[in-house]
Amino acid sequence: MEYVSTSKAPAAIGPYSQAIKAGDFLYASGQIPINPENGEIEATTIADQADRVCRNIGEILSAAGTDYEHVVKTTCFLAEMSDFGAFNAVYEKYFVGKPARSCVAVKQLPRDVLCEVEVVAYLGN
């Protein structure tokens, strides 16, 4: 098992890792739309927050030596299911390989953000 960490994505805001390599897989913790440069949530719309989340995920994938094409599963959390369409419009620009996915609405997310995404990526050939 190997921990993955990068300053190009937000540091964990609790007792967990950004990601862990275990065998042929990378398990990345949920990302929220924090700007890693200043620790702030600057985006206010679901589209802008989803874009920041996806860019944060991209940095973690890169730090682990992989990319979006190797993501096999995502779990997406939305504060409002009414944001589903706008969220998907951003999501599909990054996850073009169409990994398996779950998407649920939740009562509340950390720092009152609109979305959070976690990923599992395959690191093998």
Is residue 115 part of the annotated active site? The answer reads no
What's the domain count of the chain?
1
- Residue 94: per-residue pLDDT: 98
17-47 pLDDT, tens digit per residue, is 999 999 999 999 999 999 999 999 999 999 9
Active-site position among 54, 76, 103, 115: 103
Q: Which of 55, 59, 68, 124 is nearest to 96 (CA)?
A: 68
65-74 pLDDT, tens digit per residue, is 999 999 999 9
Domain ranges, residue 48:
2-122
Mean pLDDT of the chain: 97
Q: What percent of the chain has pLDDT above 70?
A: 99
Query: Cα–Cα distance between 26 and 44 in angstroms, integer?
Result: 29
Q: Domain with 76 in it: what CATH number?
A: 3.30.1330.40
Binned at pLDDT 50, 70 and 90, residue 14 comes out as confident
